[in-house]
Structure 1
């Protein structure tokens, strides 16, 4: 299963991932660096091998993955973060 997190820069995509799938606390996510283009991680979840694609939110990265949709192909769940 592939889940893609998309949204504007600084909206909390990486923080949501870290708090939801790792043992990070919200406080620990306050000083994160921006995601460059995208980051992928795999996690077992409810018996599934889940791939999480954390898409960078800066304008140049959004433009890149909207024009070259390859990173979004195969997405089962697209989660827009606002």
Structure 2
């Protein structure tokens, strides 16, 4: 599957916390990453984002959950259902 295009928009990175981070961690966990669902974008979450990007969106691997990363993850999860 082609990744969603890289563009500007909301993104999440290490140090942030809250419900959107919890949702991101839940999606990573559902897809099979060992992401702990804490609501804190910590080093482990960043490493899981890097691993995801390296595999599914290798043109930009930075550990930041941008719209392309989140949309690609969401599409992959939708394809599993």
**TM norm structure 1:** 0.30
Higher helix share: 2
**TM norm structure 2:** 0.31
Q: Which has the higher contact order (CA 8 A, sep 6+)?
A: 1
Higher strand share: 1
